[in-house]
């Protein structure tokens, strides 16, 4: 699949430790800044569709504020019940001060 990075926000608008969600094409995407590294996942919690852009980011885990399930952001893994289905992740890059998300490519983890 072709790479198709889309600019979602200015890097400066998403300080370390924060998460916000954005419409990217037909997808709502949550973008996270974890210690200066940007990550993106699908925005809707896989439990009952709460927007993780309203979630609480603690280290590399985002807690859903609706029923307090949680996900490991870099991998999208569900790490706390009632969440049991993983989130899709998307590749991000920062170019010219803008955060780009590529819906056609999963995140590369472990870097």
Which range, of 7-15, 29-37, 62-70, 101-109, touches ligand FES by CB under 6 A? 62-70
Q: Whole-number minimum distance, CB 67 to ligand FES, in Å?
A: 3
Q: Does 34 bind ligand FES (CB under 6 A)?
A: no
Region of residue 53 (left: phi > 0; alpha: psi -120 to 50; beta: else): alpha
Does position 82 interact with ligand FES (CB under 6 A)? The reply is yes
Closest CA relative to residue 53, chosen from 33, 67, 32: 32
Determine what percent of the chain falls in helix, strand and coil, rounding each to the nearest 5.
5, 50, 45
Residues that bind ligand FES (CB under 6 A): 45, 47-48, 50, 64, 66-67, 69, 82-83
């Amino acid at each position: 699949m072709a790479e198709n990075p889309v600019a979602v926000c200015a890097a400066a608008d998403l300080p370390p430790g924060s998460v916000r969600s954005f419409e990217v094409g037909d997808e709502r995407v949550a973008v996270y800044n974890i210690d200066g590294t940007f990550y993106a996942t699908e925005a809707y919690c896989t439990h009952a569709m709460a927007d993780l852009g309203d979630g609480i980011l603690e280290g590399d885990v985002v807690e859903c504020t609706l029923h307090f399930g949680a996900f490991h952001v870099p991998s999208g893994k569900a790490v706390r019940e009632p969440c049991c289905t993983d989130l899709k992740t998307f590749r991000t890059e920062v170019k010219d001060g803008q955060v780009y998300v590529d819906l056609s490519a999963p995140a590369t983890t472990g870097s």
